[in-house]
Structure 1
């Protein structure tokens, strides 16, 4: 959905002078005549989405540098061919055969010149890197592949076999109804096996994730931490696009500065415009605001490995203590729905368990007394970046802090720089954390295994560090079935178990917003996964004539 807009809020414009004074012109990319500047909210952790689950990394890399075997069309709700032209399901769902696309070129750069096109060897290398602990590249740059571990793909796949140069078989331990959806996610990228061999032979294997090579629409040129990422158009791209010569990510963590850069023309596109300004974005012919229903959830997770959060009564008490309706209004300005479950209502597997998350301070105090906590002191970690699911985690933490004080709980708010925050969070240093999740694909399993499975504890992606065998068994039964009604019943049980045990409190499901110059077209906020600039087009002349 696209809304013509302006940025005229008096309160926001009062900040302009201060922000202009704080800008550093020598570090800002100049507006591009043949390219586009995207003001991103942070640095990528690496240039390989296999290695993490950060939305910042996904936005910066997945759809720009790489391709996958298949894609997912959210509008048509179907899988589409990508590097695989077609596929077959064999042996009762225990084997998938993928036929690969011919004549796909890998990137040519000043640090790598491929001697061949994409083939089955690249698929084998890309999968075996995270599947096979004996792979020469498995432990390069950390050896952690959280999405594949959390979803169980590293246990599901028993073999990846080359049938011929353009045919690959993937064998599964059991039938899994979410398998294709996970292969269509932004994490299942294809790397160059030839490039990996060259790096290993030269003694620099770690460069594979820092100087990336893929088959995607853009070619890596430069990265300056805290300043920019620069990409060039891939002239050999195998499908339609891209239509811009250059793509620059101007790294701008401050949301107000991103808005200012959009107004002054230093940015062509920004993610997460200030929610408080959405209602005032009207009638400006130079700015567009787009929104998309993006399945996501903001939640408050408790570290169940730490007292007092190892007691479900305490977790339920804290849930009863917070006024979620007030949070929705104060943080989202009505542009989100209060969560009635971990799953959004748009999912076919949604179960309404809202009674578990009602606002009831008296019940909260009663549960704390039953658990033996007259007074309690806790930390709330608030992520330092904006996300579609939570545009202001620190302010949300302040509201929760005030609610908790009313039942005798002292809460201290903690935050760090984003990458430091994620590293310390993965190590389990937190008491509780305000964070969230944006779906990578349309299968409801994407909200369960990556967030709450026992396998996700090991990767640090399970922010609650909650491992429950009964929950894992329910989810396994659900993915093992192809009967939607049976799966729905199982997911209903899973959502009720989560509501009973309360490892996390679902707070909101929100729209995803994006603002851009009116001269920009072909970019919309993605329903699933990261943003793509492959279809981006620029018509600056038309805008100047308006």
Structure 2
């Protein structure tokens, strides 16, 4: 064979092999801790659900900068606020594509109609789509956005105007949160015509960096890269797989063997082993979170303040934090984490005192041997690495003061669903801030508006509510701090919760993972992340 004739062909083949198109597709596997309850971010409040939908499939009008709490443009390039703070005009990003899948092919780009559909669905219970698929938006309602937003309208295809009934100091931050993810009005219309409106929660369509492919409950979720993403520098892997493993030991083993490149929620006792593994990297930072107990104040005898005070002071919290959180947790005494502005450092716990607890229970007429259902999460969270162990230690502490705690657990989605319905007596729960504003804690978790949502204590105090509502209306941070600190004192006095711990967040991964940034909001984002060869 004539070498000179073959040489150009060899050269062409070599160039093709080096081209990006010829290189092997990159696949990142994330060992996640639980199955999502669904893929419609507006319906949920859990990081598990947001990771599987809002952080992959969707975008919002505004968004948080990677790894921080600062808001930047998302699907809106910029916005204008009226002098009275009651009107927000968003100018939409042109040329943004919705995902094309085997179940939907868009015929147009993202526009104002999609924003209108997304928010009108949250605001109007009588809109056709919501009637076809009745669904609540706990976060939207818990934050009072259903009463804050007066109307949403468009002036043209690229401009949307939100009119408010009153000032909301955190409105822009709120719209950057997962529940405000923008849906496709065209896709919703297709589902409505097909009589399949509920599929919006099973087969999502968004504009985000990853396209949903398929989901097998308790096994895996598969995504592919959105090659038409409006911010191409954020899409650096071709395939993303969530490998669902509820057992932390299994996640660790898969990470060590390279079956996954990133793993969620490591056990505190495994951190040192991970840090000593030359193939792993463990990022860490102070957590913006709180692990706590919520007392359902609508269930006797928990409707009595003396009973809640007794149960609170009967828990040996330092011992619990040492055993459960080990070196990854700090004792919490307040309903806010120390990193949240307006946190009041003067608020302190009632000291551990079983004798006083027994006296209070006797005064409240609670007989020794009284049974209480203590709910424990079955999944690890940033705010509590082992809820089962926490429950067992609390059970032991309460037994010493005559209370018999029966530990109850459910699968994660069922746990949240039943808790929202108020079936629990006392539940172990946790929270990681979502937008950097105090209302995301004091409003979402303890307000009267949130009683049917994330206020698992079902506690409604008019004096407290008045303070946090007034704080939301103010643009003066010093005034807001004063109001929120007054509210924190009422919360501590009334004991709807027992704060337990603020934990350090650890994020283990393989060393080939590049540019992963820990979210201060407890999420696991993969946009901008790549794998080295």
For residue 263 of structure 1, report the CA deviation from its aligned partner. 1.4
Query: Does structure 2 retain, via aligned residues, the 8 Å contact 1:65–1:220?
Result: yes
Q: Which position in structure 1 is the counterpart of 2:507? A: 514
Aligned partner of 1:150 among 139, 142, 154: 142
Say which is worse superposed, 485-494 or 279-288, in terms of deviation: 279-288
Tell me if 1:287 matches 2:252: no
Asked if structure 2 preserves the Cα contact closer than 8 Å seen for 1:291 and 1:513, the reply is yes
Partner of 1:34: 26
Once the two structures are superposed, residues 152-183 of structure 1 have per-residue CA deviations (whole angstroms, 9 ceiling, x without a partner) of: 01110000010111111101000111211111
Instruction: Kindly indicate whether residue 142 of structure 2 is the aligned counterpart of residue 124 of structure 1.
Output: no
| Aligned match of 2:306 | 313
Q: Secondary structure of 2:470's match? A: helix
What is the 5 A alignment of 1:233-382? Answer: 233-239=225-231, 240-352=233-345, 354-375=347-368, 376-382=370-376
Q: Tell me, yes or no, if the aligned pair for 1:148 and 1:154 is still in contact at 8 Å.
A: yes
TM-score normalized with structure 1 length: 0.91
What number of residue pairs does the alignment pair up? 508
Equivalent position of 2:6 in the other structure: none
Q: Decide whether the 8 Å contact of 1:296 with 1:509 is kept in 2.
A: yes
Contact 1:287/1:515 (8 A) holds in 2: yes
Write the distance in 1 (CA, Å) between the matches of 2:76 and 2:121.
Answer: 19
Q: Does 1:455 align with 2:449?
A: yes
- 1:163 is aligned to 2:175: no
Structure with higher Rg: it is: 2
Match status 1:65 vs 2:31: no
Is 1:402 aligned to residue 396 of structure 2? yes
Deviation at 1:78, TM superposition (A): 2.8
- Match in the other structure for 1:390: 384
1:192-211 equivalences under 5 Å are 192-211=184-203
Structure 1: where are the runs of 5+ without partners?
1-31, 542-546
Distance 2:204 2:497 in 1: 36
The alpha-carbon deviation at position 284 of structure 1 amounts to 2.0
d(CA) in 1 for partners of 2:202, 2:350? 43
Gaps of 5+ in 2: 1-23
Alignment of 1:190 with 2:185, yes or no, is: no
Check the 8 A contact 2:295/2:425 in 1, yes or no: yes
Q: C-alpha deviations, 1:215-254, integer Å up to 9, x for none?
A: 0000011111111100000010000221111001111111
CA–CA distance in 1 between the matches of 2:142 and 2:346? 24
1:407-426 correspondence to structure 2 within 5 Å:
407-426=401-420
Partner Cα separation in structure 2 for residue 84 and residue 293 of structure 1 = 31
Partner SS state of residue 348, structure 2: helix
Structure 1 partner of 2:16: none
Q: Are 2:38 and 2:49, in contact at CA under 8 Å, matched by a contact in 1?
A: yes
In 2: Cα distance, 1:140 partner to 1:336 partner: 45
Deviation at 1:339, TM superposition (A): 0.8
Distance 2:252 2:132 in 1: 38
